[in-house]
């Protein structure tokens, strides 16, 4: 099977936040499987980024609203001809379980971590280039030198605070991505534009290219339209739009 690269562009703030969280959780998972102090450093850096996102918005409410909205949309399909009722029932059960877990969360998510003096000391130094060196944070240096199983136990306990949200975001993005079938499109001279129906908001645009393509997709857009420019790099590192016609696969996720 031909290898492909998918370029995604969120078209609203909620989808943008969900994609950022998904990226950070995936990055953390990759480093939580490692035992070196460098893996633990990277996993903790991702944790602090996630905590920062939770501090800027009421994500608990945002996730709950989206879960309930999608549940309502799915429930409305129950009597639609041709719908796989078994699969639909499983999906609704999955949503029900996550809604229950979200309701069980007390207070602001991550509040206990924001009050953790050890984590705060690292966060305060992280904005300084090289600010988390051993001589800057001897307590952090001590923690990094602990046995791997101790460090990983701490990291998993800290990440468990976000588990209901992680699973909810994972499910919502899966549903969004699976909500549409891609179509083959042509970008004439490396440029493509499409108008959108404001009454059926598109949450996510996905552009698929072969992995060996000599260009990448630069997507921008809003509620009314989006554009795709196919770019390539010059030897000096400057990116320019290709002047060739580009055949690609486009998926507009509206749900």
Using one digit for the tens of pLDDT, what is the confidence trace for 100-109?
888 888 878 8
Who contacts 149 (Cβ-Cβ below 8 Å, separation ≥6)?
A: none
Same domain, 146 and 249: no
**Domain total for the chain?**
2
Of 198, 188, 191, 255, the residue nearest 229 (C-alpha): 191
Report yes or no on 8 lying in a domain. Answer: no
pLDDT band at 1 (very low <50, low <70, confident <90, very high): low
Q: Are residues 20 and 82 in the same domain?
A: yes
pLDDT at site 32: 95
Q: What pLDDT digit, counting tens, does each position of 199-222 carry? A: 778 889 999 999 999 999 999 988
CATH number for 239:
2.60.440.10
* 127 contacts 103 by C-beta, under 8 angstroms: no
Residue 46 lies in a domain: yes
Measured distance CA(87)–CA(30) in Å, rounded:
30
How far apart CA 118 and CA 126 sit, in angstroms, is 13
Q: How many CB atoms lie within 10 A of CB 51?
A: 22
Do 20 and 56 form a contact (C-beta atoms < 8 A)? Answer: no
Q: Which residue has the tokens 């035992």?
A: 35
What 3-state class would DSSP assign to 226? strand
Cβ proximity of 9 and 192 under 8 Å: no
pLDDT tens-place string over residues 43-66? 999 999 999 998 877 888 888 888
Task: Print the domain residue range for 223.
Answer: 180-253
CA–CA dist 231, 213 (Å, integer): 11
Q: How many helices (H) and strands (E) does the chain have?
A: 9, 8
Contact 31, 39 (CB under 8 A): yes
Write the pLDDT tens digit of every residue in 25-44.
999 999 999 999 999 999 99
State the residue for tokens 């240096």: 141
The backbone region for 236, taken as left when phi is positive above 0, alpha when psi lies in -120 to 50, beta otherwise, is alpha
Express each pLDDT in 72-90 by its tens digit.
Answer: 888 887 778 877 788 888 8
Residue after which a domain boundary falls, among 175, 208, 241: 175
53 and 84 co-located in one domain: yes
């Amino acid at each position: 099977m031909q290898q492909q690269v998918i370029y995604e562009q969120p078209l609203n703030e909620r989808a943008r936040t969900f994609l950022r969280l998904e990226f950070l959780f995936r990055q953390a998972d990759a480093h939580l499987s490692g035992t070196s102090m460098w893996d633990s450093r990277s996993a903790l850096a991702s944790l602090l980024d996630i905590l920062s996102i939770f501090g800027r918005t009421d994500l608990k409410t945002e996730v709950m609203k989206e879960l309930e909205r999608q549940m309502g949309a799915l429930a409305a399909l129950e009597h639609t001809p041709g719908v796989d009722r078994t699969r639909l029932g499983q999906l609704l059960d999955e949503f029900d379980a996550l809604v229950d877990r979200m309701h069980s969360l007390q207070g602001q998510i991550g509040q206990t971590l924001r009050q953790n003096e050890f984590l705060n000391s690292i966060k305060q130094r992280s904005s300084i280039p090289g600010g988390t060196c051993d001589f800057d944070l001897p307590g952090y240096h001590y923690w990094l030198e602990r046995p791997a199983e101790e460090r990983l136990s701490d990291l998993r306990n800290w990440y468990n605070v976000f588990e209901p949200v992680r699973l909810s975001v994972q499910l919502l993005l899966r549903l969004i991505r699976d909500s549409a079938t891609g179509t083959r499109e042509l970008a004439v001279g490396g440029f493509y534009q499409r108008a959108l129906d404001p009454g059926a908001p598109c949450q996510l645009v996905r552009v698929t290219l072969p992995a060996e393509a000599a260009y990448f997709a630069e997507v921008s857009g809003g509620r009314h339209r989006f554009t795709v420019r196919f770019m390539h790099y010059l030897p000096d590192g400057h990116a320019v739009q290709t002047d060739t016609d580009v055949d690609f696969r486009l998926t507009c996720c509206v749900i």
